[in-house]
Amino acid sequence: MSTKYVVDSWAWIEYLDGSEIGKKVAMKLKAQEVFTNIVTIAEVISKVGRKQKDPDIAFRAMTSLSNIVAGDDEFAKRVGLLHSGVKKEVPNFSLGDAFTLYTAKSLSAKVLTGDPDFKGIKEAEML
């Protein structure tokens, strides 16, 4: 049985940068069922733009290598509730992180990340 992954912005940036950790992300992308939350796309495009790199390359990579999860109004409500709960324990846990985590929970998947804000979260597979 293969593992489902929701790739967070941290992992996508490593992948796009071609780092050693990014190479590990690439291996996971090839062998697994992969998802990305639509909020993660916005985060990555913002980061890529700030680095003055081509946002179209990042966009094509994310949309071609993963299934995009957009959610609906109920999804957003659940993300907000999850965020308020986790943020009490992890002060730097962002709303974007909550979208990623809730996406993983809703799909019975693992978050593929190296973001220290996910450390100790059972749904996270730390790189």
Distance (Å, whole) CA 22 – CA 35: 16
Residue 69 in domain: yes
Whether 110 is covered by a domain: the verdict is yes
List, run by run, the mean pLDDT of 10-residue segments along the chain (127 residues).
89 97 95 93 97 97 97 97 96 97 97 96 96
Asked if residue 32 is part of any domain, the answer here is: yes
Tokens of 99: 């979208």
**What total number of domains does the chain contain?**
1
Is 25 part of a structural domain of the chain? yes
Q: Residue 68: inside a domain, yes or no?
A: yes
**C-beta atoms surrounding 82 within 10 Å:** 18
- The answer as to whether 101 is a domain residue is yes
pLDDT of residue 1: 52
Query: Domain with 42 in it: what CATH number?
Result: 3.40.50.1010
The total number of residues written for the chain in this structure? 127
Within a domain: residue 125? no
DSSP string, 2-36: PPEEEE-HHHHHHHHHT-HHHHHHHHHHHHSEEEE
Which residues span the domain enclosing 43?
4-117
